[in-house]
Amino acid sequence: MITAHRNVWNAVKTWTADVTVQQRKTPQITRSQHIILCRQEYLRHFYGYRPAERRPKRSAQNDMDADWSKGFCDKIKHMQRFFGFPPSGELTKDTLEVMRKPRCGLSDVEPFGDTVRWTNRILSYRLPIPASQVRKVFRDAWKVWSNVTPIKFRKRGRREADIAISFYSGDHQDGTPFDGKQGILAHAFLPGIGIGGDVHFDAEEDWSTNSTGYNLFTVAVHEFGHAIGLAHSPDPGAVMYPVSKHVFKCFPGISPDFDSLFSNKPPPKTPDKCDPDLSFDAVTELQQEVHFFKDRFMWRKHPLFEETRITLTNSLWPSSIPSNLDAGYMNIEKNFNLMLVFCFSGSQYWKLTQLQLEEGFPKNITNLGFPSRVKSVDAALHIRFKRYTVFFTGHECWRYDELWEVLDARPSLIEQEWPGVPAPIDAAVYFDGTKSPFFDAVQVNYSTLYLPSKPYAIVRTV
């Protein structure tokens, strides 16, 4: 355990040692019991599910069957719609997986109305924890919100404050007990008098200021959002997404969240991989994975795993890479010890070495040899064993020699070089193997052309 992690956790334990709380351990339960508890308690706590009262006691199996009432299935559908899953009303693998993830303790259907607002723009908060490092974490978290809202925050000592920040374990007499390590990490109360606006953190979690354990700053920014009146967002890229993301590099989605307090602007929309009209900005291979880019999101597909998961682009890629990529490809020919990645957006391109941006980039694509009439690259297909890359622009394609770093003087027509592939091209990717498994989880139209022992996938979404 590194120093930063230990200092934060010791500060929390030092303060909570002076508070009388109920200590509890997470019981060891079987998988079937875990599923039963998850589906009942999770839906009760976060979606308002109420099981039938005074139900006759029956066997465990009969109890499980009895739970599949219309009301229960409706709550499952509600949850599935919130997280962007098909609303089947069944406990699918994706649904159960979200139920098991650590998250915020506030309900996803909390009634945030126009009346749940602070009446003043200067709020005070009280933090009875002496450790300077913990105080700095919370001060920085408040600054995130003061930078994008008209609200200002002031720390108070022993005086009464609008918002009290506390660490508790187990049942701490507010009606929403903590559940030990993992599970519910923290919760907050809506703006109001008394406990309104207060923020509680689970003292049993392994809090840290880095990627070890749960990042206190990340969770604090989320909970402070509740304290000023924000509800949960179904957008996995938003600050107010209820499931913990461990490490936070930046804060997309803050302004749209807060704008909802003052306007009727719709929240940012997360792409749905099952949307038949879905299109991609770019697709590229990265080692053994294929990455699909759409706005500030990406899907990662590995040939050994069935599922294709969505995440934020900047969770892996540098924040200097724009969210609206046009094309990208990986090249490891020049130095087998280094992974080079090239990303294109508009008239510029970025060069990454081991996913770190090289000095002097971005550069204009004319540096690659493109004439000034070419304003952007639609797709890039790196053919590794031949050491060249094909760039697609409109109805044309250009061959770029990676060894000599020379672009062909004249382009070819796509319909001549790639018969049967309609132009323009949205994305292209090279990958190893004898079939194309990467596109099964995302609905696109594509053609696969087999050249000597290696397949190519040319993607044109419609």
> How deeply is 147 buried, as exposed, middle or buried, from its count of CB atoms within 10 A (0-12, 13-18, 19+)?
exposed
Dihedral, CA of residue 156, residue 162, residue 163 and residue 169, to nearest 10? 100
Provide the pLDDT for residue 25: 41
Judge whether residue 201 has pLDDT over 60.
Answer: yes
Q: Report whether 174 belongs to an annotated binding site.
A: yes
For the ranges 11-25, 47-61, 170-184, the one whose mean pLDDT is highest:
170-184
pLDDT of residue 374: 92
How confident is the model over 304-333, as a mean pLDDT? Answer: 75
Q: For position 214, what pLDDT does the model report? A: 81
**How many DSSP H helices and E strands does the chain contain?**
9, 25
Q: Which residues pair with 297 in a beta bridge?
A: 294, 312
**Is 114 a residue whose pLDDT tops 90?**
no
CA dihedral 56, 61, 67, 73 (to 10 degrees): -170
Q: What is the reported pLDDT for 448?
A: 39
Report the pLDDT averaged over residues 127-142.
Answer: 76
Cβ proximity of 387 and 378 under 8 Å: no
- 222 in a labelled binding site: yes
Mean pLDDT along residues 323-351: 81
Domains and their CATH numbers in the chain: 3-21+108-259 (3.40.390.10), 31-100 (1.10.101), 282-459 (2.110.10.10)
Contacts of 89 (CB under 8 A, 6+ apart): 73, 74, 76, 77, 80
Catalytic residues: 223
Q: Please count the other Cβ atoms lying within 10 Å of the Cβ belonging to residue 337.
A: 6
Three-point CA angle 210, 211, 216, nearest 5°: 55
- Say which residue the tokens 């500060």 belong to: 11
Q: Contact, 230 vs 261, CB < 8 A?
A: yes
| Residue 407: per-residue pLDDT | 93
pLDDT exceeds cutoff 70 at 37: no
Higher-scoring residue by pLDDT: 129, 139: 139
Least confident of 43-52, 105-114, 123-132, 335-344: 123-132
Residue 460 pLDDT: 42
CA 105 → CA 185, 242, 380, 404, distances in Å?
Answer: 7, 8, 44, 57
- What is the average pLDDT value for the chain, to the nearest integer? 72
Those residues whose C-beta lies under 8 Å from the C-beta of residue 398, and which sit 6 or more positions away, are: 370, 390, 391, 407, 408, 411, 412
pLDDT in tens, 56-69: 444 444 444 444 56
Tell me phi and psi for residue 430, to 5 degrees: -105, 140
**Residue indicated by tokens 């009303």:** 89
Rounded distance, CA 74 to CA 88, Å? 9
Name the more confident of 42 and 336.
42
pLDDT at 5: 41
Is the pLDDT assigned to residue 220 strictly greater than 80?
yes
What are the pLDDT digits (tens) for 240-253? 888 876 544 444 44
340-362 tens-digit pLDDT: 889 999 999 999 887 788 888 89
Sign of CA dihedral 97, 101, 105, 111: negative
Question: Per-residue pLDDT tens for 388-445?
Answer: 899 999 999 999 998 888 998 889 998 888 777 778 887 877 765 322 323 333 323 3
Helical axes 31-47 vs 93-100, angle rounded to 10°: 80
**pLDDT of res. 157:** 72
- Predicted confidence at residue 177, as pLDDT, reads 84
Residue 399: the pLDDT is 93
User: Taking residues 145-151, what's their average pLDDT?
Assistant: 83
The phi and psi torsions of 267 (rounded to 5 degrees) equal -70, 160
pLDDT at 28: 53
pTM of the full predicted structure? 0.45
The larger pLDDT score, comparing residue 336 to residue 151, is at 151
What's 119's DSSP letter? S
Under a CB-based contact definition with an 8 Å cutoff, are residues 198 and 228 in contact? no
Of the listed ranges 55-64, 116-125, 227-236, 432-441, the one predicted with least confidence: 432-441
Residue 245 pLDDT:
65
Alpha-carbon distance 231 to 106, whole Å? Answer: 9
What confidence tens digit (pLDDT) does each residue in 367-376 have? 999 999 999 9
Residue predicted with more confidence, 19 or 45: 45
pLDDT of residue 347: 92
- Known binding residue 187? Answer is yes
- Please indicate if the annotation marks 200 as binding a ligand: yes
Burial annotation 338-348 (CB, 10 A radius, 16+ → b, else e): eebbbbbbebb
Tell whether the model's pLDDT for residue 289 goes beyond 70.
yes
Give pLDDT, residue 283.
80
Residue 104 assigned as binding residue: yes
Residue 274 marked ligand-binding:
no
Per DSSP bridges, beta strands 454-459 and 446-451 are antiparallel
Between 264 and 93, where is the model more confident?
93
